[in-house]
Amino acid sequence: MNITSCTRQEIEEGIENAQEEHHGASGEIRLLLAPEVINEGNFEQACNLYSRVDMSDYETVVVIEPQDQILEKKLSIASSGIFETPLGEVPANDRIRSEFCNANDYFFIHDEAFDRDSGLFQQLMFLQTLSDDFSVVSIQITDDNPATVEELAAVIEEVLASGNVLLVFCCELDREFYEEFQKIEKMVQNSNHSGLLNYLNSGASEIKGAASFIAGVLVAHSWKLDLTFLEQDEVRGSLLTAYAGRQDVAYV
C-alpha cells in the first residue's frame, strides 16, 4: 500500500485527526521535508506534517526529490503540462520552470529522470486533499555532488524568495539510524553547512535523498526559517520529517 491507493476521505480523516493534536494549520510554513514514499508505515506522520499546511497561502508547490540514476542533466525538471493522480489533475507552472532554467546551467526541462513512481505523486495526494487550486513544478536531483546541491539551493533562494510557493524536499532516514540523526540535527542547529556538505560527499550517509535534505536546510537557513523536526517519539516514519516556518523573512 502507498498513498496513491487511498481515497480522499481517508486522507482527510488522517489530516483531521492530526490537526486535533496540534490545533490546525499554520500560515507561516514555507518548506517541508517529507518522505518520498508515503505508505502504511509513515501515513500518520505524513498526515501530521501536511495537516500543518494552509494551502490558501500558496499558488505553486515545488517538489524536489532524489533520483538514483546519475545522468548528464544534473537537475531535471519534468516537462509535462499536467500531473494526474487518482484525485485529479494539477497543472504545471511553466513560468517557474522557465525561470529555473534561465537562472542556471544546471537546470534542464528533461524527462529522463521522471516517471510515474516519482515521489511527486505521493505529495500531490495530500496537496490535492487540501486544495484544488494550485500549480506544481517537479525537480529531480540526479547528481549528489555538493556543488550541485549548493547551486540548487542558490537558485531556489533567488527564484522563489518573493513567491507564494511551498517547497517540498523529499528525504528519509530510518529510525534505526537515530545516532546519525542526532549528529545531523546538531549540524543543522549549529548551521554547520560545510559539515553537512562534507558528510554528503563522504558517501557515509544513510539518508535517502541526502542532497535534497541538505538543499532544504540551506534554503531554510538563507530565508531565516525555523526548521522543526516532528516529535521523535512517534513510532513510525522518517526521522527527518520536518517543516520550516517564517522567522523574519524579507521579501523583495
* Whether residue 248 has pLDDT greater than 50: no
* pLDDT for residue 189 is more than 90: yes
Q: Where are the domains of the chain?
A: 3-245
Residue type (1 letter), 188: V
Summarize pLDDT for 104-126 with one digit per residue, the tens.
Answer: 888 999 888 788 788 999 999 99
DSSP single-letter state for residue 176: G
Long-range contacts of residues 243-250, Cβ cutoff 8 Å, at least 24 apart: 243/29, 243/31, 243/32, 243/33, 243/49, 243/52, 243/53, 244/29, 244/30, 244/31, 244/32, 244/216, 244/220, 245/26, 245/28, 245/29, 245/30, 246/28, 246/30, 248/224, 249/30, 249/223, 249/224, 249/225
Percent of the chain clearing pLDDT 90 (strictly above): 73
Backbone angles phi, psi at 202, to 5 degrees: -70, -25
Whether the per-residue pLDDT at 252 is higher than 60: the answer is no
| Whether residue 94 has pLDDT greater than 80 | yes
Is the confidence at residue 168, as pLDDT, over 70? Answer: yes
For residues 36-61, average pLDDT:
94
Q: Does domain 3-245 correspond to CATH entry 3.40.830.10? A: yes
Q: What is the average per-residue pLDDT within 2-17?
A: 93
Q: With bands split at pLDDT 50, 70 and 90, how would you rate the model's confidence at 27?
A: low
Distance CA 175, CA 237 (A): 7
Average pLDDT over residues 70-75: 77
> What's the pLDDT at 43?
95
DSSP state of 207: -
Q: What is the pLDDT of residue 26?
A: 65
pLDDT at residue 48, rounded to an integer: 94
State pTM to two decimals: 0.94
pLDDT at 2: 81
